[in-house]
Structure 1
Amino acid sequence: MKQMQGIGQLLWKLREKEGIRQKQLCMGISSLSKYARIEADQQEIDFFLIDRIMGRLGKSVERLTYILPMDVYKIYELRQEVQQKICQRKWEEAEQYLDEYEKNKRAKEPLHRQFIEQERAQIAWLRGESVELVCEHLETAILQTMPEAENQRKTGVLSAEEYKLLLFRWEVCQETEQKRAKDEIKALVEEIFRKNFEKTERVKIIPYAALLISKVIEEGENTTYIKMRTEEALEALRDEGKLLYMPEILSQYIRILEKEQSNADFIEILRQEQKCILEVEHDYNVSFENYRLFEHVIRNFEVDAELIRRTRRASKLTQESLSEDICTQETLARIENGNQQPRSEKLWQIMEKMDRNGKRIETGIQVEEYEILELKIEFSKYMHRKEYEKAEKILFEIESKIDRSEPENKQYVEVGKIQLKYHKHLGNSEELVQQLKALLEITLKFEDVYRTEYVLNRQEISVLTEIALIYWGKKDYQMALEIYHFIDDRYSDSCIKPVFHMLDWNMNIANYARALDELKYFKEAMCTCQKAVQQMLYAGKGASLGYCLMIQACIMEEEGKEVCKKYFKQNLNLLKLYKMDADYKVMKNYVEERNLLN
Structure 2
Amino acid sequence: MQGIGQLLWKLREKEGIRQKQLCLGISSVSKYARMEADQQEIDFFLIDRIMGRLGKSVERLTYILPRDIYNIYELRQEIQQKICQKKWEEAKQCLLEYEKNKRAKEPLHQQFIEQEYAQIAWLRGKSVETVCEHLEKAIVQTMPEAEIQRKTGILSAEEYKLLLFRWEVCFGTDRERGEKELQELVEEIFQKNFERTERVKVIPYAALLIEKTARDGKADTYLKLITETALENLREEGKLLYMPEILEQYAQILEKENSNAEFIGLLRQERASLLELESDYKVSFKNYRLFDHVVRNFEIDAELIRRTRNAAKLTQEGLSEDICAQETLARIENGNQKPRSGNLRQMMEKMGRSGDRIETGIQVEEYETLELKIEFSKFIHRKEYGNAEKVLSKIEEKLDCNLMKNYQYIETERVKVKYKENAEYTEQFIKQLKELLAMSLKVEEGQKMEYVLNTEEVSILTEMALIYWGEQNYKVALEIYQFLVGQYEKSFIKPVFHILDWGMSMGNYGMALEELGYFEKAIGVCRKRIQQTLFAGKGGSLHTSLMVEACILEAQKDVKCKKYFKQDLDLLRLYKMQTNYKLMESYVKTNKIFD
* Bucket of the pairwise TM-score, normalised by the shorter protein: over 0.9
Deviation at 1:6, TM superposition (A): 2.6
Matched, 1:172 2:169: yes
Q: How does 1:198-213 map to 2 (within 5 A)?
A: 198-213=195-210
Distance 2:201 2:588 in 1: 34
Aligned to 1:358: 355
Which TM-score applies when normalising by structure 1? 0.98
Residues 511 and 544 of structure 2 are in contact (CA less than 8 Å); yes or no, is this contact kept in structure 1? no
Aligned to 1:294: 291
Distance 2:474 2:93 in 1: 45
Deviation at 1:586, TM superposition (A): 0.3
Aligned to 1:335: 332
Aligned to 1:119: 116
Aligned to 1:436: 433
Equivalent of 1:130 in 118, 127, 131: 127
Secondary structure of 2:9 counterpart: helix
Q: How does 1:570-585 map to 2 (within 5 A)?
A: 570-585=567-582
Deviation at 1:451, TM superposition (A): 2.9
Q: How does 1:483-562 map to 2 (within 5 A)?
A: 483-562=480-559
Distance 1:274 1:8 in 2: 42
Equivalent of 1:260 in 235, 249, 257: 257
Q: Go from structure 1 to structure 2 and tell me whether the alpha carbon gap of 1:449 and 1:66 turns closer, same or farther (over 3 Å shift).
A: farther
Deviation at 1:221, TM superposition (A): 4.4
Distance 2:265 2:44 in 1: 45
Distance 2:138 2:532 in 1: 28
Secondary structure of 1:442 counterpart: helix
Matched, 1:396 2:393: yes
Matched, 1:269 2:266: yes
Distance 1:597 1:109 in 2: 56
Matched, 1:417 2:414: yes
Aligned to 1:240: 237
| One-letter identity of the residue aligned with 1:437 | K
Residues 513 and 528 of structure 1 are in contact (CA less than 8 Å); yes or no, is this contact kept in structure 2? yes
Aligned to 1:230: 227
| One-letter identity of the residue aligned with 2:222 | Y
Distance 1:444 1:531 in 2: 30
Q: Go from structure 1 to structure 2 and tell me whether the alpha carbon gap of 1:449 and 1:153 turns closer, same or farther (over 3 Å shift).
A: farther
Per-residue CA distance 1:251-281 (angstroms, 9 max, x = gap)? 1000000011100010011010000100000
Distance 1:37 1:422 in 2: 46
Secondary structure of 2:174 counterpart: coil
Per-residue CA distance 1:416-448 (angstroms, 9 max, x = gap)? 110001111255112211110100011111125
Which shows bigger deviation, 491-500 or 34-43? 34-43
Per-residue CA distance 1:365-392 (angstroms, 9 max, x = gap)? 1111000100100010000000000000
Matched, 1:249 2:249: no
Which shows bigger deviation, 460-469 or 169-178? 169-178
Aligned to 1:186: 183
Per-residue CA distance 1:449-473 (angstroms, 9 max, x = gap)? 8830000000000000000010111
Distance 1:129 1:224 in 2: 35
Which shows bigger deviation, 446-455 or 573-582? 446-455
Distance 1:344 1:171 in 2: 43
How many pairs align? Answer: 595
Gaps of 5+ in 1: none
Q: Go from structure 1 to structure 2 and tell me whether the alpha carbon gap of 1:515 and 1:153 turns closer, same or farther (over 3 Å shift).
A: same
Aligned to 1:461: 458
Deviation at 1:150, TM superposition (A): 0.6
Per-residue CA distance 1:467-488 (angstroms, 9 max, x = gap)? 0010111122221111010010
Residues 569 and 597 of structure 1 are in contact (CA less than 8 Å); yes or no, is this contact kept in structure 2? no
Q: How does 1:138-177 map to 2 (within 5 A)?
A: 138-177=135-174
Residues 19 and 29 of structure 2 are in contact (CA less than 8 Å); yes or no, is this contact kept in structure 1? yes
| One-letter identity of the residue aligned with 1:530 | R
Q: How does 1:71-90 map to 2 (within 5 A)?
A: 71-90=68-87
| One-letter identity of the residue aligned with 1:246 | M
Distance 1:412 1:353 in 2: 22
| One-letter identity of the residue aligned with 2:114 | E
Gaps of 5+ in 2: none
Per-residue CA distance 1:558-586 (angstroms, 9 max, x = gap)? 01100001100100000000010000000
Aligned to 1:378: 375
Aligned to 2:319: 322
**Over the residues paired in the alignment, what is the CA RMSD in angstroms?**
1.0
Per-residue CA distance 1:67-118 (angstroms, 9 max, x = gap)? 0000000000000000001000000111111111000000000000000000
Deviation at 1:216, TM superposition (A): 1.1
Per-residue CA distance 1:134-156 (angstroms, 9 max, x = gap)? 00000000000000001100011
Secondary structure of 1:106 counterpart: coil
Deviation at 1:176, TM superposition (A): 2.6
Distance 2:343 2:172 in 1: 54
| One-letter identity of the residue aligned with 2:208 | L
Secondary structure of 1:222 counterpart: helix
Residues 440 and 460 of structure 1 are in contact (CA less than 8 Å); yes or no, is this contact kept in structure 2? yes
Aligned to 1:591: 588
Matched residues, percent identical? Answer: 69
Distance 2:391 2:424 in 1: 21
Aligned to 2:20: 23
Distance 1:451 1:246 in 2: 44
Secondary structure of 2:440 counterpart: coil
Residues 477 and 518 of structure 1 are in contact (CA less than 8 Å); yes or no, is this contact kept in structure 2? no
Distance 2:424 2:565 in 1: 33
Residues 3 and 356 of structure 2 are in contact (CA less than 8 Å); yes or no, is this contact kept in structure 1? no
Deviation at 1:597, TM superposition (A): 2.2
Residues 55 and 193 of structure 2 are in contact (CA less than 8 Å); yes or no, is this contact kept in structure 1? yes
Distance 2:382 2:57 in 1: 21
